[in-house]
Amino acid sequence: MNHKKNLFRILAVALTVIILTLAIAVLPSLFSFGRPSLRMYFVHYDTPEFKGSELYRLHFHPENFFRKPLAYFRKMGNGTFFDYYEGKTPRNFLDNAPRHLLISLHYLLPSGIISLFWGVLLSIRGADRKSPPWTFGILSFTAVVPDFILILVLQYLFFLINSMAGGELVRVSSLSMDHRALILPLFVMSCYPTLYLARTLGSRLKIMASEPYILYARAKGLSRNHIRVHHLGPAAVKLVRGDLNKLLSLLFMNLFITERMFNIKGLTAFLFSNIRQYAFTVNTLFLVLTLYVALFCLLYVLLSAASRIMERVGP
């Protein structure tokens, strides 16, 4: 019975995700602005008809809310729903999307691992110690600084450092898909998830550090490192597994800004390049969801392995 309930829940979640994806992808097609021709600028610019023309108004197309999904399903039937256009050039989604997916994964997976490592480490180290009052202030201030401000400051700083060094020590922007910036994007993408884990886990582990079994372990004379590895460590990993969706949400939110600011041709840049083509947008959003699920599974397995290692390692 429980297996049937779980299967029903999975199917319900999958159906909800599909419906939401189809609905979100239609949003760019619901609105449009009219664009007057160049001839109208020169011939009819001063006329009241031109200034009050419908061409300048925002047009709402509610019929697209049903027409676009139906057209998408018709394309699935004739096998053309992977076709899209870049300008006037026909392209195939399966030929171009995988390389953009791999580029985004190239930044998301290392950023996730870095965030987990430093977030758990900082929270464990701060749980059984009294942190100075300025530590919380620094974490709070850094967490409210917008991503693009941090990126601009880092780019300007390393631009000056590269100029003084007479070479490109750290790449501040991607020149092409083969010559991408690496250090700064990884730092930016892992910074805020790390701060989130350090704050949330740190506060929970501080409460856990005053639990009777931790106090009993200290009374027995067990070392601080032993308590961190065998008690606080597995507890921190279990808490992270519960917050893994929030961590991934932060990573994916940072992904769009990072790819935009560092000129990285990843999956979000690929999405916004042809977002007004409905089939293309739906397919790319499904690819983003697939990447999310794959990254969730990879990090979950990694956390489970780390928890077992910490529980079995000797004193």
pLDDT digits (tens, 9 = 90+) for 2-21: 666 667 777 787 788 888 88
Q: Is the pLDDT of residue 304 over 60?
A: yes
Residues 6+ away with beta carbon under 8 Å from 141: none
pLDDT digits (tens, 9 = 90+) for 134-164: 555 666 666 677 778 888 888 888 888 888 8
- Taking the model in full, what pTM does it have? 0.81
pLDDT digits (tens, 9 = 90+) for 28-58: 888 776 554 444 444 444 455 544 444 556 6
Q: What local confidence, expressed as pLDDT, does residue 61 receive?
A: 78
**Owner of token pair 């691992």:** 113
Q: Is the pLDDT of residue 94 over 90?
A: no
Rounded Cα distance between 310 and 288, Å, is: 33
- Report which residue type is found at 254: N
For domain 97-312, give the fold: MetI-like fold (1.10.3720)
Three-state DSSP at 177 gives coil
Q: What local confidence, expressed as pLDDT, does residue 88 receive?
A: 82
Task: Name the burial class of residue 241, with classes exposed (0-12), middle (13-18) and buried (19+) by CB atoms within 10 angstroms of its CB.
Answer: middle
Rounded Cα distance between 52 and 50, Å, is: 5
Tell me if 255 sits within 8 A of 107, measured CB to CB.
yes
Tell me if 254 sits within 8 A of 192, measured CB to CB.
yes
Which has more pLDDT, 134 or 180? 180
**Owner of token pair 């057209």:** 71
Rounded Cα distance between 307 and 223, Å, is: 19
Q: What local confidence, expressed as pLDDT, does residue 295 receive?
A: 93
- Residue 217 φ/ψ, nearest 5 degrees: -65, -35
Percentage of residues in the chain having pLDDT higher than 90 = 11
CB atoms within 10 A of CB 134: 8
The b/e string for 27-36 (b: 16+ C-beta within 10 A; e otherwise) is ebbeeeeeee
**Owner of token pair 């840049």:** 269
The b/e string for 198-229 (b: 16+ C-beta within 10 A; e otherwise) is bbbbbebbbebbeeeebeebeeeeeeeeebbb
DSSP structural state of residue 169? S
Residue 236, token pair as written in the block? 């921190």
- Residue 236 φ/ψ, nearest 5 degrees: -65, -40
User: Where exactly are the structural domains of the chain?
Assistant: 2-61, 97-312
